Every structure is written in structure tokens, then in C-alpha cells.
Structure 1
């Protein structure tokens, strides 16, 4: 399979743990992650995960990089020198997990207002896999129309909807189901949940 390079965006939608676990699993498998986190995403890290520190890169190294063989590269929202900002870079795909409705709207309109939106625009124009994991309910017509528009452009809309047929026993089991489905979208092997029909 070889080493993959994935662009990963984490926004201010609730469910920061999904993005964290996805990055950890990709790094665990030895791949490279180009990570982008919006300011609202950092606020959710603090509110949901208790991550609060002055040196963001050091915090990410401690929480995500340690003990994993993959390579983590962190890019700020204004750093357009990042490889993910250009179609000439060999990026294998991109995921925004979780994806806020504001970010989804920015991607749908091609705004490229920050590095994350630009990276998603690049993924679409280069016909690379783009997966968006919204965590919002209920959805209004604007949300649904933007999702339909992006689906028609080739993006994969993968709402954070855990399954229950694998008989989850903990909150972590539910998180692993969503993260496992996201890994499946990039053909990355994992054993985070029991698949339908396995073991029968």
C-alpha cells in the first residue's frame, strides 16, 4: 500500500475526539498527516477534551505524535506555503472530521478563505478523495443543499452516525465506529469495530 499523505481538517463542530482518533490511527499505521485546526476547533479541544496550552505544536506532539511512527505536520490556517494548498503536491486525499456547517459552506462555495478551505478546493479540483464528517442536528435546507452540491462535485458526506449492530459497550466503541468508517473511505486497514457478518 505504501505510505500515504492525508490532509486532515478539524473544525469547531462538536466531536473533536473523532478527529483526534482519526489522526492517531493514521499515524499509528505509519502514514503522514497534514493537520489543520480552525480557531473554533481549538476552542472545542479545550471544552471537550480539556486540551489547553500555550504551545500548540508541542501540545499536538504530546497528544498525537508520541508513540506513533507516522509523521505529523501541523499547518496554521494562514500558512498557504503548505503542500496541501497546491495541486502539484502528492496528497492522497483529505478529510474534515468533524466538519462544521460553516466550513462545509465555505468548501461548497469555493471560498478558500483559509488553508483548510483551500486544501479542500484543491482536493475537489484534482479529483482526489474528499470526505466531510458533519456533526450537526437538525439540518436545515442550506446544510442539505450544500451537502448535495458537494456530493455532486465528488465529495463523500459521512455524518458522524455510529452504528449499533456491533453491540457497542462504551462511548469509545461508538467513536471507533465513526473513525473506522472514515478510515475505510481511504482504504486504510483497521480493527476498530466488528463488521457486519464477521464472526458469524
Structure 2
């Protein structure tokens, strides 16, 4: 396991929630027939969870163990307006029918996870909440919609400067008059 473990809350389709620690990347183990996640729980034991049973893995600031219903404190599951940060604005539909929107990165990590069919890392709609990042396994998603590609505003193009004369203008001037193509 990686030495950099982050606080996570694993929500499964069965409805239970398991707090623990995982690295940010490369935590899915595909040794067996089904992919697994090795979660370090709060007592220091490693729990092996089937990836197909996991709905979301939320990277959180605090565990909030007193809140048994919503320890992730993810109040908003959709954006109120167009996001301001860069990324792919996506809408996911889970196997249970509920929706989640988020921003997926527009870098190679998105493609490598898609090729390996593992899942998506998303930034949630409210980054000021307890949840900082969400991992959604591919097996939990029934529908994925790309809403928009959010980029930074384009810069103004520089004004054209005085360029060197083009060679195209003087191409046929150096030829004798009788050798010009007709």
C-alpha cells in the first residue's frame, strides 16, 4: 500500500458506509476474477471490498462518524450553474437511479481509467463541503452524459506585426519572360 493514505468514506449499494484510508490513485487491485479495493479501516485492519459492490468512494476532510445517514456531507449532487473550474462536466446515473454531477479531469488519468474500465475521479459540485473528491466505479454507472467541456477563457490574440515579405510574391519575377508557365 502507498505511504500517502487519505481519509475516505466508502458507500456501498447495500446502504452501509465504511470509513477508512486509501491512496489517491492506483488502489484497485485486479489480481482476482473481480477487481477489489483494499481499505485500511479505522482500527488498522485491511478490508478487501469488491469493486462491483461499491457505489462511491468519497475523499473527505473529516469522517463525521456521528452522522450515519450522510457522513460525506454532500448536500448538493448537481451544479447550480455552469462550473468555473476546468474539466468535463458530466452527469452520472447510478444503478439505483440517482444522479450525481461532477467535473472529470481532462488529462491522461481520465483515459487510463476508462481504458482499464475502472472508474472516474470527479470533483463534486460543492468543493466547500466535506467531500473533496469522489471516485465512482464503472460498474456503478448506468448512464454517463457529457454536459459541457469547461475551459479557461481564451486570451486575446496578439495583433499582427510587420512580417517579412512572402517568397510567394517574388517567385515568378526572377524568371525570364519566355520561361513563365502558361
Larger fraction in strand? 2
Larger radius of gyration: 2
TM-score range relative to shorter protein: under 0.3
What TM-score, normalized by structure 2, do the two folds share?
A: 0.23
What TM-score, normalized by structure 1, do the two folds share?
A: 0.22
Larger fraction in helix? 1
**Bigger relative contact order (CA 8 A; separation at least 6):** 1
